[in-house]
A and B are shown apart, each in its own frame.
Chain A
Amino acid sequence: MIAVENLSKLYGDRIAVDDVSFTVKKGEVLGFLGPNGAGKSTTMRMITGYLAPSAGKITVGGFEVKHEPLKTKALIGYLPEIVPLYPEMSVRDYLKFIAAIKGIPGREQRERIAAIIRRCWLTEYADRLIAHLSKGYRQRLGLAQALIHNPPVLILDEPTSGLDPKQILETRELIRSLAGDHTVVLSTHILPEVQNVCSRVLIINAGKVVAEDAPERLEAKLKGAQTIHLEVRAPQDKLTVLLAGFPGVRTAHAHPKGQEFPDMVAVDLDAEPGDDMRARLAAAVINAGWDLLELRAARLSLEEIFLKLTTDEVASPAEIKEVASVQG
């Protein structure tokens, strides 16, 4: 339904989106996951035809955005990151205006507006001025605006931002109910969001796709990974040598504990997924004749995994390759 090929966007000489390619099949819910500034909004703005790409090609429903923008725009419902509302209008008048510019025929408008007001939980607010709506209700109205013409493709930029927990659950439920009939692309920097609603995730960082998979598979691959925190009274160089050759250790960062603790070394190490090495590690330290002062395993939460993938200093290229099934 959506095909993005080698898409790039430069703001001046700063690259915001860097050679991104992906496709979204009909009925899929694709999640864009990435920290702020990753290029999620910029990519969405290019798909919706708001921004022109610096390079690359986008097709929506078989039409190229560049050559037939009116056709692709008619297929898309778009919730921008900054919800585009006119504060001086009432909710109903606003939706009336949206219905007209989306090309919904006059005789159908009334019914559509009533239906979307119900669907987006705005019934009590229908005649309220937008200026008087709370953040959560503005977000809902933004969603209503995107859904009103029942478009086959939905592009939702951070659809749950600014909502309270109950509203978040309702909105996720609503998005899930759209899957199948609609092709959805949503962006978020919150992990549970993609776990809950997406059939596929694209992790974006610094304008590049760093990983792409189904959320469960991404999770499974990464959940086994663990970090171990270790404090040992030992010479740092010898400890480093021991750990570097230790089976199951991927990376180890050893550093002196600090001035109050002379000759104490603290180590954070990444272990291979599914390998509990704590007992072996403890034995090795004791055998070397050092004092083992602390040994603690920390399971990587998805948040940390996500951080690892999207923080350059931490993620090693090997890890990224392991995670990414399609993109390098």
Chain B
Amino acid sequence: MSKVNAIALRELKNYFVSPLAYVVAALFMAGVGFLFYAILLSTREASLRALFQNMAVVFLLLVPSLTMRLLAEERKMGTIELLMTSPLTDAAIVWGKFLASVIYLAFLFLLTGIFPLAIIMVGGKPEIAPLLTGYLAIFLMGASFMAIGLLASSLTSNQIVAALIAFTVSLIIWLLPAIGSVFGSPVSEGFQYMSIIQHLENMARGVLDSSDLLYYFSLIGACIFLTVRSVNVYHWR
């Protein structure tokens, strides 16, 4: 476990020495802030749900740029050879990377915490339950995008390609209901369940349903599992 922490810590430092982390944080804040402001202006009513949806869009666009280097860079630089010849399992390497990503995500969330606070300060009375479940959902969604990005980064040593794969896969999972609607029921209902945005909407209503949680956890779990497999294949080149 301390080895996973070591990997995560190095990765996290790497996030914060590169300007990218700050650029993304700034873009994220600006994006969310602007959307939030627009929502306040247009509806004169602090609608957190719309805020969450818009945060999701910002994530979809920005997360691939955060995750693209995770494994691709180690391969490009040859440092993956160091990790894979140290007494570490391939899974420890992958979990370390994922942990760092989730911690970075948590950092972004701390920053956006000021927006709901602002609503309360200006006298808005957001319902606490949807606020909390919405935040949880958007966090899980961000973590899912991170896991997809990590998987994409394991597939190539080219960071740009990794980012494109991550973005495309995330977008497809987002748009599954639209794709599914072509087929009609029951296929479309299946696609509906598999859509990443559907569960966000459920949770932003303030209902904590185990099927929504299960969805995010299985998506993350599947991506981690596939990433470990994909890293394992490096031994077999």
Contact = CB atoms under 8 A, between A and B. Distances in A.
Given A84-B81, A86-B79, A102 B86 contact: yes
A100 B86 CA distance: 10
Given A51-B237, A52-B235, A102 B87 contact: yes
A103 B3 contact: yes
Contacts of A80: 78, 81-82, 85
Nearest to A96: B6
A169 B235 CA distance: 35
Nearest to A145: B82
Interface stretch (B10-18, B30-38, B108-116): B10-18
Nearest to A99: B6
Nearest to A51: B235
Among A76, A84, A103, chain B packs the most CB atoms within 10 A around the CB of A84
Interface size grouping (class) on chain B: 20 to 34
B235 A84 contact: no
Given A52-B236, A97-B6, A100-B2, A88 B83 contact: no
Contacts of A97: 6, 9-10
Contacts of B78: 80, 82-84
B20 to A, nearest CB: 12
B16 to A, nearest CB: 10
Given A76-B85, A86-B10, A88-B14, A101 B235 contact: no
Nearest to A129: B17
Interface string A30-64: 00000000000000010011111000000000000
A73 B3 CA distance: 14
Contacts of B77: 84-86
A83 B16 CA distance: 24
A5 B79 CA distance: 28
B141 interface: no
B232 to A, nearest CB: 10
A50 B85 contact: yes
Contacts of A145: 82
B7 interface: yes
Contacts of A306: none
Interface residues of A, number: 30
A55 to B, nearest CB: 13
A101 B88 contact: yes
Contacts of A86: 10, 14, 77, 79
Given A49-B84, A50-B84, A101-B86, A88 B18 contact: yes
Interface string A99-113: 011110010000000
A85 B79 contact: yes
Nearest to A82: B78
A82 B81 contact: yes
B158 interface: no
A27 to B, nearest CB: 22
Contacts of B188: none
Nearest to A44: B85
Interface string B68-86: 0000000001111111111
Contacts of A49: 84-85, 235
Interface in B52-110: 77-89
A70 B89 contact: yes
Please indicate which of the listed interface residues B3, B79, B82 has the most CB atoms of chain A within 10 Å of its own CB.
B82
A213 B7 CA distance: 42
Nearest to A101: B86
Contacts of B2: 100, 106
A183 to B, nearest CB: 16
A88 B16 CA distance: 11
A41 B97 CA distance: 28
Given A51-B235, A97-B10, A100-B6, A74 B87 contact: yes
User: Top 10 A-B pairs ranked by shortest CB distance?
Assistant: A100-B6, A84-B82, A82-B78, A74-B87, A84-B79, A48-B85, A73-B87, A52-B235, A101-B86, A80-B81
23 contacts: A45-B81, A49-B84, A49-B85, A49-B235, A50-B84, A51-B236, A51-B237, A52-B236, A70-B89, A78-B85, A80-B81, A80-B85, A84-B81, A85-B77, A85-B79, A88-B18, A89-B10, A89-B13, A97-B6, A97-B9, A101-B88, A102-B86, A106-B2
Interface of B: 2-3, 5-7, 9-10, 13-14, 17-18, 77-89, 235-237
Interface of A: 11, 45, 48-52, 70-71, 73-74, 76, 78, 80, 82-86, 88-89, 93, 97-98, 100-103, 106, 145
